[in-house]
Homo-oligomer: A and B are copies of this chain.
Amino acid sequence: MTGANSIGEGVGRVETRFADISLPSEGFRLECGRSLRQLRIAYETYGRLSPQKDNVVFVCHALSGDAHAAGHHGDPERTRGWWDAMIGPGRGIDTDHYHVICANILGGCKGTTGPSSINSDTGRPYGSSFPPITVWDIGEAHRLLLSHLGINRLAAVIGGSFGGMQVLEWAIRRPDMVSRAVCIASAPRLSAQALAFDVVGRDAITSDPEWRGGDYYDAGRGPVLGLALARKIGHITYLSQEMMERKFGRERMAAPPCGNFSTNFQVESYLDHQGDKFLERFDANSYLYITKAMDEFDIVERYGSLEKAFSMARARMLVAAVSSDWLFPPEQSSLLANAMLRAGRSVAYCVLQAPHGHDAFLVDVSRLSDVIRAFLPWVGVPADHQIGSDRTDRPEFQIIASMIKPGSRVLDLGCGDGELLSFLRKRGAADTMGVDIDIDSVIAVIDRGHDVFQADIDAGLAAMPDRSYDYAVLSETLPLLRRPRFVLSEMLRVAREGIISFPNTGSWRHRAAFLFSGRVPVPRGRIAEAWYDSGILHSFSWADFVDLCRRDGIKIVQTVCLPTCAAGRLLLGMGRQNLGAEHILVRVTK
């Protein structure tokens, strides 16, 4: 239950609740074929549930998280929820709008049924008799909780890391329940390297003689050395190299090391501390069961391909990666987003610049909050209001709109804040997608409700399948590219037609100015003018452009020239485009 609601204070004091799910006589059936006779789920909620129950955001926690995502349990200093900075009034997941639910996962040890729970059949902890679980089982348990709470539709499901995997399963397997899905710093399946770290972590636990095959609850301290070791390995992978260097470097502790082969490096004492802290709050068997579920999670294996999987989904998707995350690297998020795109999903993809590594989604949420806030629907605001204001004062926009047939799919390469896309949407474009390298632009485009991909156009559009758009637009962007020829060819691979808007360096003004001043012409645009910091890497004339089109077999279907003076109009009237046009818009195809 939400507590104090004052801005800046978060959701205040909260408490964890426990739901004993009523099960059919066969119990809670797991993917492995076995069943659990009881199912208890620990959960917390924040923000008010709307009367229509249409404002629920379900938050999926990561490997070692729990139901306590926001607020505090009495002591605001020591018992903050793990995502308190993200969830609350005015925060990324705004509890003034949303009713947020977070629940401990199946197999966990923080109140939801897991290997350390008492098996009522025996009156003793499950231990090694706990059945293997999957990400799907985890989601199903949570679905039963929602049912129990009378909720059957989610405005959004959101999670990072292992939580992101749960989000993916929700979107794929329960398409009718999920409107929006946010998958942060996650992957369709673990990389070989991440698998390897998990393998070694589990090894450390099962090699510990105190593990006793999993039945250690009644005997001693349990595999504390092994569990601490596993956690230390994990913690190395959660931080980027840069962050570890910044935090610890080779600083040493004042106290001398206690063992022969200990060091007094701060990083050693940090890891020791993390290992010890973990022992207080986590169960070794839970660690084994959950990491195994994570390792076995594989969308490709389960559904045949990512594309097949996401063709089952219906939610709008947001995929966010962290630049310095090497455990779930951005390439994996990009794979996800690309497959969603190919499956015809509506998707926004961005890469948050943060030095923290994988942990960034927990510890550096300010930018991520902006992204999530922009992506979540505005509760109570009509959807088409979200597309943004219409500026009709740019003649280029009008011309581009006139080149595009209503109902078409439009891709804007170098889309900036999405103003053109919003304009085209108003003029009848059905699907709108932007690509830009800048995160602020990407957030603005998400906020306007378009699909968007954060990417460097010069690196190509390998993500996008052939002919996936009717039109691709390069508005004022071509001169800024390092590889204009390559990008043109990519543009005409992914779209049926290309629309390119560029200043014509060959106009009589530029020629005359160059002749008399000897200064190489830098066309005016939205950019500065000096040759050395205009941002322009390729300045070209209409004749140069035509030449490239001829060499590469690009057909120019339509040309619109913008003169800015009487002389220009006269020259255009004489058919002298290269002399008369100050600015040119062309529609091309291949």
Contacts and interface: CB of A to CB of B under 8 A. Distances in A.
Interface of A: 128, 189-193, 195-197, 199-200, 202-209, 214, 225-226, 229, 232-233, 236, 239, 241, 244-245, 247-250, 259-263, 265, 267-268, 271, 288, 292, 295-296, 298, 301, 326, 329, 482, 484-485, 505-506, 511, 514-515, 517-521, 530-533, 537-544, 547-548, 551, 578-579
A515 B518 contact: no
Q: Is the interface of A mostly helix, strand, loop or mixed?
A: helix
A284 to B, nearest CB: 11
A540 B520 contact: yes
B267 A196 contact: yes
A485 B209 CA distance: 65
B203 A229 contact: yes
Contacts of A326: 241, 326
A482 B579 CA distance: 29
Contacts of A226: 207
Contacts of A245: 191-193
Nearest to A241: B193
A271 B232 contact: no
A290 to B, nearest CB: 11
B203 A295 contact: no
5 contacts: A193-B236, A209-B209, A263-B295, A511-B515, A517-B543
Contact of A511 (B196, B205, B482, B514): B514
A267 B195 contact: yes
Contacts of A209: 209
Contacts of A236: 193, 196-197, 200
Query: Which of A250, A263, A485 lies at the interface centre, i.e. has the most chain B CB atoms within 10 A of its CB?
Result: A250
Given A193-B241, A196-B267, A241-B191, A540 B544 contact: no
B250 A298 contact: yes
Given A214-B260, A531-B540, A250 B192 contact: yes
Contacts of A521: 520
Given A189-B250, A485-B532, A519-B541, 19 more contacts: A128-B260, A193-B239, A199-B268, A199-B271, A204-B229, A206-B259, A206-B260, A207-B208, A241-B326, A241-B329, A261-B288, A263-B292, A511-B514, A511-B515, A515-B515, A517-B543, A520-B541, A530-B551, A531-B538
Contacts of A505: 520
A229 B197 CA distance: 11
Given A192-B248, A250-B301, A514-B511, A538 B543 contact: no
A117 B514 CA distance: 82
Contact of A207 (B225, B250, B517, B543): B225
Number of copies: 2
B204 A532 contact: no
Contacts of A531: 538, 540, 544, 548
A544 B515 contact: no
Given A200-B232, A233-B200, A236-B196, A518 B543 contact: yes
A342 to B, nearest CB: 21
B191 A271 contact: no
A518 B542 contact: yes
Contacts of A295: 263, 265
Contacts of A518: 506, 511, 541-543, 578-579
A416 to B, nearest CB: 21
Given A539-B520, A542-B518, A579-B518, A263 B193 contact: no
A193 B271 contact: no
B199 A263 contact: yes
A193 B244 contact: yes
Contact of A199 (B193, B239, B267, B517): B267
A519 B537 contact: no
Contacts of A192: 241, 244-245, 247-250, 265, 267
A519 B544 contact: yes
A531 B540 CA distance: 7
A574 to B, nearest CB: 14
Contacts of A517: 543
A158 to B, nearest CB: 26
Contacts of A265: 192, 195, 199, 295
Nearest to A287: B261
A244 B203 CA distance: 19
A260 B271 CA distance: 28
A261 B295 CA distance: 11
Nearest to A128: B260
Nearest to A487: B532
Contacts of A578: 518
A268 B485 CA distance: 45
Contacts of A268: 195-196, 199
Contacts of A482: 482, 537
A262 B200 CA distance: 10
Given A189-B250, A514-B511, A520-B506, A229 B214 contact: no
A10 B518 CA distance: 63
A458 to B, nearest CB: 11
A537 B520 CA distance: 13
B514 A543 contact: no
A380 B317 CA distance: 68
B197 A244 contact: no
